[in-house]
Amino acid sequence: MAQIERMTVVFPEPMAAQIRAAVEAGEYATTSEAVRDAVRLWSDRRQMRANDLERMQQAWEAGKASGSAGEVDFKVLRQEARQRLAELNDDRDL
């Protein structure tokens, strides 16, 4: 079994009430279980952010390494984007 460390955490009353309500509703057996679940979600979210940041950094580096795209005609770019958006909206209407 994993080693356990006791910690004291102080919550504002509205948060504490939410945790107690979740336990009373049977969503969790104890307040500790509810807090552990919250910490797991927080940890997962931090990992997802780190993964997203790594992917963005890789994409940035790949983009820089690919060289210049040359001149960009923003009028044409906007028209193409509007066309793709219109096509997406048409597909949703089906």
> Per-residue pLDDT tens for 46-64?
999 999 999 999 999 999 9
Torsion angle of alpha carbons 71, 77, 80, 84, nearest 10°? Answer: 120
The pTM score is: 0.64
Q: Would you say residue 51 lies in a domain?
A: yes
Q: Would you say residue 8 lies in a domain?
A: no
pLDDT of residue 1: 66
The three-class DSSP label of residue 88 is: helix
- For residue 13, pLDDT over 90 is answered with yes
C-alpha 91/C-alpha 85 separation (Å) is: 10
Q: Would you say residue 3 lies in a domain?
A: no
Structural domains counted in the chain: 1
Residue pair 35/19 in contact by the 8 Å Cβ criterion:
yes
C-alpha 62/C-alpha 67 separation (Å) is: 9
